[in-house]
């Protein structure tokens, strides 16, 4: 899908917080090689370069738009940007050896086959290295189920229904079962953030930056997009009504994993 850095960064603060919470839990003193998978606009990639000044840091993403924004915002000689599809990506042989840290915030839920993808990433680490992953696990919430409801209720149903898919993120216990045979330790937890949003239809604006975007892109024209957006907005407004002070509360659950090889 095509990513819009501007739409994604509309909610930069609440999107950054889980990334920082994961980052803070990584206990590595001096990693030599770090990959930030699905680095997007590179905010965390920059923080990794700052936290570990001796490390070679590589941000990997499939989106040319996101990488262009990342390279523009962080013109550091110590950060490299690679365009690649994570479905087939593997760390290239490097003079510094295998990575000590593979970090991925809010990206791997876009990829299928977690049963093979995640063990493959653990296997790519240097011994003692860490895979740190955060993914949303909010796919049963109205913000996401209203997308399916809108798809199935409109004249676009036949074109868009094939794009609906079940939750791409499994339970914590499932990930523990998949990862523990390949790891020295597996630490998994969830956090539900009570996000406080402002503005008109902020939940719609939030999902427009991520999960809603491919559905909007698949519609015929701007007029149909406007009808779809209005239908979806009405559904999420009912599920997340603005408070009297104009703010909208949007609970959002996220899954975190720290896997040490």
Ligand X SMILES: C[S@@+](CC[C@H](N)C(=O)[O-])C[C@H]1O[C@@H](n2cnc3c(N)ncnc32)[C@H](O)[C@@H]1O
Q: Which is nearer to ligand X, 37 or 236 (CB)?
A: 37
Site for ligand X in 98-117 (CB under 6 A): 105-107, 110-111
> What φ, ψ does residue 130 adopt, rounded to 5°?
-125, 135
Binding mask 21-60 for ligand X (x = CB under 6 A): -----------------xxx--xx----------------
Q: Supply 24's token pair.
A: 């803070």
The DSSP string of 5-47 is: HHHHHTTHHHHHHHHHHHHHT---S--SEEEEET-TT-HHHHH
Residue number, 48 or 178, with CB nearest to ligand X: 48
Give the residue closest to ligand X by C-beta. Answer: 40
Helices (H) and strands (E) in the chain, counts: 11, 7
Only segment of 84-92, 160-168, 189-197, 252-260 that touches ligand X (CB under 6 A): 84-92
| Calpha distance 110→91 (Å, rounded) | 19
**Interface segment toward ligand X; rule CB under 6 A; list 80-88, 188-196, 200-208, 253-261:** 80-88
**Between 127 and 156, how does the x/- string for binding to ligand X read (CB under 6 A)?**
------------------------------
- The CA radius of gyration of the chain, in Å to the nearest whole number, is 19
């Amino acid at each position: 899908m095509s990513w819009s850095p501007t739409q994604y960064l509309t909610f930069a603060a609440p999107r950054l917080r889980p990334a920082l919470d994961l980052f803070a839990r990584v206990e590595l003193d001096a990693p030599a090689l770090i990959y930030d998978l699905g680095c997007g606009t590179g905010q965390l990639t920059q923080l990794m370069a700052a936290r570990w000044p001796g490390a070679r840091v590589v941000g990997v993403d499939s989106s040319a738009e996101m990488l262009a924004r990342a390279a523009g915002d962080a013109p550091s000689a110590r950060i490299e940007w690679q365009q690649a599809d994570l479905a087939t990506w593997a760390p290239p042989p490097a003079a510094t050896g295998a990575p000590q840290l593979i970090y991925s915030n809010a990206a791997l839920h876009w990829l299928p086959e977690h049963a093979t993808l995640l063990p493959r990433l653990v296997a790519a680490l240097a011994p003692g290295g860490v895979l740190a992953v955060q993914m949303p696990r909010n796919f049963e919430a109205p913000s996401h189920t209203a997308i399916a409801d809108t798809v199935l209720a409109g004249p676009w149903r036949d074109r868009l229904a094939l794009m609906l898919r079940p939750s791409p993120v499994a339970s914590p216990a499932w990930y523990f079962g998949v990862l523990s045979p390949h790891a020295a330790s597996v630490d998994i937890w969830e956090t539900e953030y009570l996000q406080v949003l402002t503005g008109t239809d902020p939940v719609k604006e939030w999902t427009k930056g991520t999960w809603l975007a491919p559905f909007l892109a698949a519609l015929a024209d701007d007029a149909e997009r406007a009808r779809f957006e209005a239908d979806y907005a009405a559904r999420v407004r009912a599920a997340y009504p603005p408070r009297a002070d104009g703010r909208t509360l949007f609970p959002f659950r996220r899954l975190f994993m720290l896997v040490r090889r």
